[in-house]
Amino acid sequence: MSEPVHSIHPSARIGANCRIGWYAVIHEDVVLGDGTEIGDHAVIGPGTRLGAGVKVGPGSVVGKQPSSNARIKRKPAALSPLQVGDGTAIGANVVLYAGSEIGEDVFIADHASIRENARVGSRTVIGRAATVELNTTIGSRVVVQTGAYITGDMTIEDDVFIGPRVSTSNDKYMGKRPYAYQGAIIRKGAAIGNNATLLPGIEIGEEAVIGGGAVVSKSVPAGQIWIGNPARPLKPSSQEKKGE
Amino acid sequence: MSEPVHSIHPSARIGANCRIGWYAVIHEDVVLGDGTEIGDHAVIGPGTRLGAGVKVGPGSVVGKQPSSNARIKRKPAALSPLQVGDGTAIGANVVLYAGSEIGEDVFIADHASIRENARVGSRTVIGRAATVELNTTIGSRVVVQTGAYITGDMTIEDDVFIGPRVSTSNDKYMGKRPYAYQGAIIRKGAAIGNNATLLPGIEIGEEAVIGGGAVVSKSVPAGQIWIGNPARPLKPSSQEKKGE
Amino acid sequence: MSEPVHSIHPSARIGANCRIGWYAVIHEDVVLGDGTEIGDHAVIGPGTRLGAGVKVGPGSVVGKQPSSNARIKRKPAALSPLQVGDGTAIGANVVLYAGSEIGEDVFIADHASIRENARVGSRTVIGRAATVELNTTIGSRVVVQTGAYITGDMTIEDDVFIGPRVSTSNDKYMGKRPYAYQGAIIRKGAAIGNNATLLPGIEIGEEAVIGGGAVVSKSVPAGQIWIGNPARPLKPSSQEKKGE
């Protein structure tokens, strides 16, 4: 087969030994490190910087500027370009915004999206179809499993485990009254179970464990296990035995 | 860089000052209003009509005809083209079907999808990765947050707030017996919390509030706050204080 | 309009009466049965075999090799190509991996994804934005509704109904201790309600029914109805009346 047809803006700087797929689009001022691989139909937005060995899957949009119209409250300001660290792998049909920083050796699975002004630490996994909203900080070695929803204005410290389909929110009054958006704060080493729900502004303490399907409306002290709707501490006698 | 390469069918009518991205595909009989912007790799299906100033993000499929095979019960009939009102913004990797009408100044975020025969009122927001099924009507100034699932045959009136990851269903017997599909009816100004579950056929009254993680199996009167699994009214003494 | 521009590797074998869309990419050694339809911007990965009459929607990635980096525990081995049976319809922006087998007359809706080493039986429906993880087996005539999350190492027998946004998991200790991953086992004809949560390693018996929003932490005997958080059997007197 002939060399792939694609579009590379003349101002882009392409490292050594890069592979660029069919119909990919590399916009102005993009910088690709050595050995990067860009999949078929991927779009790399203006100014985006991808480190050495970064892989971008087919159909992904990397370094997108936020859109807006008459309906959007928080107008996007001019954003700095997206930066992605060495060795990070990005799946297919992913959407990543400008204005964010992704660390080294991060894994971002298919259909995931990460908004602007987010920070993702090194060696973290963002699962398939997981969504991370704006202004959120995620530490290193975090696992965010498939389909989890990480709201805006949220903090997730290092070594946290977010189970599949966990849901969070940051607006206590659901648009009815003014409120300073505040998502949950999840401390180091905590683990949140499958499809659990975290209400706005709560804190999950270090190494705390939230059971699958729990609905957490209050802050949870470090090291405790909470389950149920509304979530309550598991009885001490049971805490030895259980951990799911 | 040279002008973008793309495919525009000769029967399409393109307004003044439109921008069409790399490898975009504009199919037959499409009508684009003045100042529309079509992203890289976007596909605009046959006959689709986009109003003035509409933006379509990269990789989106707009005006798709329903697919089917031997397994699909409700065969798609011939559908009228999709119509999208002036000023509406559509994100990246979105899928919108033919046979639907989207109002003016609507915002549809990345990875969202809207099926055929849906109506979406003006100034409504359909969040990231939210899905709206067929035959559903959504009013004006509604907010459907990230990842919410709006089933088919559902009605959402004006000014409703649907929290992130809310889930709904329209088949009481889960395919086991014949049933006239009926999703929830959500009256004007109601608010549904993060990851709440609404069972088929119920009604949520005007300005009612459903707590995060609630599982609602009965209709909720106007103005009440319900929480829990199964959801029950919050005690009157607490209703003054709470609202999350 | 002129014939669509696309990329077909010379080693690919294309059946009679196939239609291949704009900017589609057909990689080496692909085999397309007679009458297949490949949408605009679809990518068909190396060696993939699509049966007669298979339809692939726009922007889908079919037969993707797993990606990995320093962070991924289970390194992907060399995978056999994806095989898709006759008459199967695949939506838009779908991602399907190599190493899996999809049966005949399956329907896979937009934004869905299916990982490697999965098996999907004939006439099954995989809903919009549903995700199926690796090493999972799904029977025939199963319905997996919109947004459901089917974890890895899971078994779903024939004629099961998985409601919208059902969530599952396969790691009892959430990465904290070694654990042989084990998702739920769902026996023939069972039905799982909207947004229900199934914890790891449990079994749902034949024709059992799990209510919407239930959180199931124990195995459920055949034919019983369980609801609530934690899920418990519906009282026998009620079992006659209810079924949602």
Q: What is the pLDDT of residues A203-237, one digit of tens each?
A: 999 999 999 999 999 999 999 999 999 999 997 65
Q: Are residues A26 and A108 in the same domain?
A: yes
For residue A213, is it within any domain?
Answer: yes
- At B172, the amino acid letter reads K
**Apex C160 CA angle, C158 and C166, nearest 5:** 140
Helix (H) / strand (E) element for C134: namely none
Q: Which residue is it, tokens 């079907």? A: B97
Q: Are residues A113 and A1 in the same domain?
A: yes
CA distances from C195 to B196, C20, C147, C164, C232 (A): 9, 38, 9, 6, 16
Q: Are residues A20 and A91 in the same domain?
A: yes
pLDDT at A170: 92
Count of A–C CB contacts within 8 Å?
149
Q: C107–B71: do the CB atoms touch at under 8 Å?
A: yes
C-alpha to C-alpha distance for B68 and B72, rounded to whole angstroms: 6
- Substitution target in C95, C154, C195 with the highest count of A β-carbons within 10 Å is C95
Does the structure show a pLDDT above 60 at A24? yes
Q: Are residues A20 and A95 in the same domain?
A: yes
What average pLDDT does this structure show over C106-133?
98
CA distances from C79 to C64, C99, C182 (A): 10, 5, 22
Does the structure show a pLDDT above 50 at C14? yes
Cβ contacts of B164 on chain A, cutoff 8 Å? 149, 151, 167-169
C-alpha to C-alpha distance for C197 and B202, rounded to whole angstroms: 22
Q: B71–C125: do the CB atoms touch at under 8 Å?
A: yes
What average pLDDT does this structure show over C16-41?
98
Q: Which residue is it, tokens 């309600």? A: C193
| Structural tokens at position C140 | 């025939």
C-alpha to C-alpha distance for C23 and B21, rounded to whole angstroms: 13
Does the structure show a pLDDT above 60 at B239? no
Q: Which tens digit of pLDDT belongs to each residue from A96-131?
A: 999 999 999 999 999 999 999 999 999 999 999 999
Q: Are residues A100 and A154 in the same domain?
A: no
Of C89, C128, C164, the CB nearest to B167: C164
What average pLDDT does this structure show over C213-235?
96
pLDDT at A243: 41
pLDDT at A74: 64
Q: Which tens digit of pLDDT belongs to each residue from B88-108?
A: 999 999 999 999 999 999 999
Q: Which of B162-171, B227-236, C73-82 has the lowest mean pLDDT?
A: C73-82
Q: C57–B64: do the CB atoms touch at under 8 Å?
A: yes
Of B91, B92, B213, the CB nearest to A197: B213
Buried b (16+ CB within 10 A) or exposed e, A140-168: bbbbbbbbbbbbbbbbbbbbbbbbbbbbb
A131 DSSP β-pair partners: A113, A149
Of A128, A161, A194, the CB nearest to C199: A194
Q: Are residues A161 and A97 in the same domain?
A: no
Residue A217's domain comprises 147-238
Q: C176–A165: do the CB atoms touch at under 8 Å?
A: no
pLDDT at C74: 64
- At A57, the amino acid letter reads G
Please state the separation of Cα C120 from the chain's center in Å: 7
Strands (E), B28-160: 31-32, 37-38, 43-44, 49-50, 55-56, 61-64, 83-84, 89-90, 95-97, 101-102, 107-108, 113-114, 119-120, 125-126, 131-132, 137-138, 143-144, 149-150, 155-156
Q: Are residues A89 and A168 in the same domain?
A: no
Residues of chain C in Cβ contact (below 8 Å) with chain A: 7, 9-10, 23, 25, 28, 41, 43, 59, 61, 64, 67-72, 93, 95, 111, 113, 129, 131, 133, 147, 149, 151, 165, 167-169, 172-177, 195, 197, 199-200, 215, 217, 229-230
Q: Are residues A32 and A106 in the same domain?
A: yes
| Structural tokens at position C238 | 């009620």
Q: Which of C16, C232, C114 is nearest to A92 (CA)?
A: C114
The CA distance from C227 to the nearest CA of chain B, in Å, is 9
pLDDT at A72: 67
Cβ contacts of A106 on chain C, cutoff 8 Å? 69, 71
Q: B175–C161: do the CB atoms touch at under 8 Å?
A: yes
The CA distance from A47 to the nearest CA of chain C, in Å, is 24
Q: Are residues A104 and A160 in the same domain?
A: no
pLDDT at C178: 79
Of B10, B43, B176, the CB nearest to C58: B43
Cβ contacts of C67 on chain A, cutoff 8 Å? 55, 57, 89, 91, 107
Q: A70–B193: do the CB atoms touch at under 8 Å?
A: no
Helix, strand or coil, per DSSP, at residue A131: strand
For residue A139, is it within any domain?
Answer: no
What average pLDDT does this structure show over B38-43?
98
Q: Which tens digit of pLDDT belongs to each residue from B104-148?
A: 999 999 999 999 999 999 999 999 999 999 999 999 999 999 999
- Substitution target in A54, A111, A210, A235 with the highest count of C β-carbons within 10 Å is A111
Cβ contacts of B143 on chain A, cutoff 8 Å? 175
Write the burial class of residue A222 (CB in 10 Å: 0-12 exposed, 13-18 middle, 19+ buried): middle
Please state the separation of Cα B239 from the chain's center in Å: 31
Mean pLDDT across chain C: 93
C-alpha to C-alpha distance for A207 and B187, rounded to whole angstroms: 42
What average pLDDT does this structure show over C130-145?
97
The CA distance from A121 to the nearest CA of chain B, in Å, is 23
CB C161 within 8 A of CB C151: no
The CA distance from C129 to the nearest CA of chain B, in Å, is 8
In this structure, the strands spanning C232-233 and C225-227 are: antiparallel
Q: Are residues A151 and A109 in the same domain?
A: no
* Percent of residues, chain C, with pLDDT higher than 90: 84
The CA distance from B212 to the nearest CA of chain A, in Å, is 7
* Percent of residues, chain A, with pLDDT higher than 70: 94
For residue A73, is it within any domain?
Answer: no
Count of helices and strands (H, E) across chain A: 1, 33
Residue in B with minimal Cα distance to C87: B69
For residue A69, is it within any domain?
Answer: no
Q: C173–A228: do the CB atoms touch at under 8 Å?
A: no
Q: Are residues A158 and A113 in the same domain?
A: no
pLDDT at B175: 82
pLDDT at C72: 67
| Structural tokens at position B114 | 């809207």
Cβ contacts of C95 on chain B, cutoff 8 Å? none
pLDDT at B241: 47
CB C23 within 8 A of CB B59: no
C-alpha to C-alpha distance for A155 and A135, rounded to whole angstroms: 9
Q: Which of A204-218, B165-179, C200-214 has the lowest mean pLDDT?
A: B165-179
pLDDT at C243: 41
Q: pLDDT-derived band of residue B179, with 50, 70 and 90 as boundaries?
A: confident
Domain count for chain A: 2
CB C55 within 8 A of CB C90: yes
For residue A123, is it within any domain?
Answer: no
Half-sphere exposure of C176 (CA within 13 A, CB side): 19
Cβ contacts of C175 on chain A, cutoff 8 Å? 143, 161, 191
Q: Are residues A31 and A113 in the same domain?
A: yes
pLDDT at A149: 98
* Percent of residues, chain B, with pLDDT higher than 70: 94
Q: Is the dihedral of CA A169, C174, A210, C244 positive or negative?
A: positive
Touching A: which chains, 3+ CB pairs < 8 A? Answer: B, C
pLDDT at B242: 46
Q: Is the dihedral of CA B75, C142, B162, C95 positive or negative?
A: negative
Does the structure show a pLDDT above 90 at A244? no
For residue A243, is it within any domain?
Answer: no
| Structural tokens at position B102 | 């989207």
Does the structure show a pLDDT above 60 at C38? yes
Cβ contacts of A149 on chain B, cutoff 8 Å? 146-147, 164-165
Q: Which tens digit of pLDDT belongs to each residue from C180-199?
A: 889 999 999 999 999 999 99
What is the predicted ipTM?
A: 0.94
C-alpha to C-alpha distance for C64 and C44, rounded to whole angstroms: 8
Does the structure show a pLDDT above 50 at C206? yes
Q: pLDDT-derived band of residue C240, with 50, 70 and 90 as boundaries?
A: very low
pLDDT at A237: 56
pLDDT at B240: 47
Of C69, C149, C175, the CB nearest to A87: C69
Domain with A29 in it: what CATH number?
A: 2.160.10.10
pLDDT at A75: 64
* Cβ partners under 8 Å of residue C219, min gap 6: C202, C203, C204, C205
Mean pLDDT across chain A: 93
Q: Which residue is it, tokens 């946004």? A: C165
Q: pLDDT-derived band of residue C237, with 50, 70 and 90 as boundaries?
A: low
**pLDDT top residue among C241 and B98:** B98
pLDDT at B86: 98
Residue in C with minimal Cα distance to A147: C149
The CA distance from A196 to the nearest CA of chain B, in Å, is 8
Q: Which of A69-83, A164-178, B53-67 has the highest mean pLDDT?
A: B53-67
What average pLDDT does this structure show over B18-25?
98
For residue A140, is it within any domain?
Answer: no
Of B58, B87, B215, the CB nearest to A61: B58
Radius of gyration over alpha carbons of chain B, in Å? 20
For residue A101, is it within any domain?
Answer: yes
pLDDT at B172: 87
Does the structure show a pLDDT above 90 at A199? yes
pLDDT at A49: 98
